[in-house]
Amino acid sequence: MNQRIVVKIGSSSLTSEQGGLDRSKIAFYANELLSIIANGHQVVLVTSGAVAAGFTQIGYSTRPKQLHEKQAAAAVGQALLMQAYQEQLNSQGVTAAQILLTRQDFANRKRGHNAWMTIEELIKQGVIPIVNENDTVSVDELKFGDNDTLSALVANLVHANQLVIITDTDGLYTADPRKDPDAKKFEHIETITEEIYGYAGGAGSSVGTGGMRSKLDAAKIAMRGGVKAFVGSVQQDGDLRRAVEGIGAGTYFATKQNGLPVKKQWLGFHSTPLGTIVVDAGAEQALLGKGSSLLPVGVHLVQGDFHAGDVVEVTGIDGKVIGRGIVNYEHDQLMQVAGCTTADVLKKLNVPRIEVIHRDEWVTLR
Ligand SMILES: Nc1ncnc2c1ncn2[C@@H]1O[C@H](COP(=O)(O)OP(=O)(O)O)[C@@H](O)[C@H]1O
Ligand SMILES: N[C@@H](CCC(=O)OP(=O)(O)O)C(=O)O
């Protein structure tokens, strides 16, 4: 079946430890992308490497740590990165497009929608969209930090069938295989539990940033959006095709979820919650198991100063996040009716909707 694939390539796969682009690697990946396109798949590339490609050229001896230096290096390196992809793809008759995004572009629904529509048009025209973070304007606290998260958000945005995260290791192991030769590999993962997170360590090289932890964050976001994911290595001719076909050298993350509409992606991943509603065990079960709306009777505690129409986070008594939704009550109204039956709520308040959060305005994040 022809699929829409988002492929993410990390800095460690494109550059050397000393920095600088490895053009032979860019040529290799360009050919891998072209081969899956030739098989009928649609491709969006999310590529890192701007900082790693630019820092030597700018004159820094090692990868910079200060934000303004990283941004300067990225500004130089992004041009080098695109030039290298363009050369490779153009020589085979394919055009590439540069798309630079920030977190705010996803948080603003109109900007996110515009990015999606642009990518759709490029794909329709046979152009390969090449995405990176817009490092020049991203401030520290709002940065994706690494491109793993960005690639998952892009995969959800364009309703991809699969996210392929290419890195320098052939999947998730029970420990960083660089440090523990006895570590065992996971072939398939259906749920990313705390235990799975416990196995993942940080970056393995001086040019990589997020390590396996950020790849798990990315896989989790993709899975929630109904996009299956692969994390592994693509080093030999045909490896990308094998990764896409389910026989690659890496770990596969399955999903049973359906694709999330863009409005719910915004709610789940890009909105800013203005309060927290802690619910009891019965309500937690109803939200998770039955897909019910949240009623006042299940509300245990209300925190934050929110108004009707704001986004709030919902947690269980244990503090673990269950999901997010748009609340129909002012926070002081909700405090008055927390734990009340519907009949009692109607005696106390005149509310347009009885549900604290309606299921159509709710997204589960477990
Ligand atoms: N449990 C683990 N299994 C596999 N790799 C791990 C694990 N924990 C940490 N790592 C490290 O994560 C690295 C990949 O992440 P990173 O260096 O950020 O690469 P990239 O630049 O491709 O994003 C691997 O090289 C490996 O050293
Ligand atoms: N936008 C940055 C990405 C930072 C980064 O190193 O990410 P990654 O290699 O994917 O862990 C760049 O292009 O350098």
What percentage of the chain exceeds 70 in pLDDT? 96
Candidate from 17, 45, 48, 85 with most ligand 2 atoms within 8 A of CB, to mutate: 48
Residue 167 reports pLDDT greater than 70: yes
Q: Per-residue pLDDT tens for 207-219?
A: 555 689 999 999 9
Q: What is the largest CA-CA distance in the chain?
A: 73
More confident residue, 346 or 257: 346
List, chain by chain if needed, residues with CB within 6 Å of any ligand 2 atom. Answer: 10-11, 48-52, 74, 132-133, 135, 146-148, 208-210
Structure tokens at 346: 């109607």
Residue nearest to atom 6 of ligand 1 (CA): 176
Ligand nearest to the CA of 133: 2
User: What's the CA gap between 131 and 120, in Å, rounded?
Assistant: 13
Complex ipTM value: 0.94
Stated pTM of the model: 0.89
308 and 328 Cβ atoms separated by less than 8 Å: yes
Q: Could you report the per-residue pLDDT of 336-353, keeping only the tens digit for each?
A: 999 999 999 999 998 889
Q: Which residues have a Cβ under 8 Å from the Cβ of 310 and sit 6 or more positions away?
A: 273, 274, 275, 326, 327
**Please, which pLDDT band fits residue 109 given cuts at 50, 70 and 90?**
confident
Give the integer Cα–Cα distance in Å for 148 and 165: 7
Residue 142 has pLDDT above 90, yes or no: no
253 Cα to the center of ligand 1, angstroms: 16
Q: What is the mean pLDDT of the chain?
A: 93
Domains of the chain: 4-263 (3.40.1160.10), 271-364 (2.30.130.10)
| pLDDT higher than threshold 80 for residue 201 | no
Q: Exposed/middle/buried for 298, CB within 10 Å: 0-12, 13-18, 19+?
A: buried
Q: Are strands 321-327 and 311-315 parallel, antiparallel or unpaired?
A: antiparallel
- Binding site listing for ATP: 8, 167-168, 209-215
> In angstroms, what is the span from residue 13 Cα to ligand 1's centroid?
11
Residue-level pLDDT at 60: 94
Residue 268 has pLDDT above 80, yes or no: yes
The residue whose CA has the least distance to atom 11 of ligand 1 is 204
Given a cut of 70, whether residue 270 has pLDDT beyond it is yes
Is any atom of ligand 1 closer than 6 Å to the C-beta of 251?
Answer: no
Return the ∠ at Cα 269 (arms to 264 and 271), rounded to 5°. 85
286-312 per-position pLDDT tens digit: 999 988 999 999 999 999 999 999 999
CA of 53 to the centre of ligand 2 (A): 10
According to the model, what pLDDT value does residue 308 have? 95
Report how far ligand 1's centroid is from the alpha carbon of 79 (Å).
Answer: 26
Q: What percent of the chain has pLDDT over 90?
A: 81
| Most ligand 2 atoms within 8 A of CB, residue of 7, 8, 9, 11 to mutate | 11
- How far CA 283 is from CA of 295, 298, 307, in Å, comes to 8, 5, 22
Task: Give the per-residue pLDDT at 204.
Answer: 59
Predicted pLDDT at 205 = 59
Pocket test for ligand 1, best of 169, 174, 234 (most atoms within 8 A of CB): 169
* CA triple 80-161-142, angle to 5 deg: 50
Atom of ligand 2 nearest to the CA of 53: 14
Measured CA to CA, the distance from residue 63 to residue 49 in angstroms comes to 11
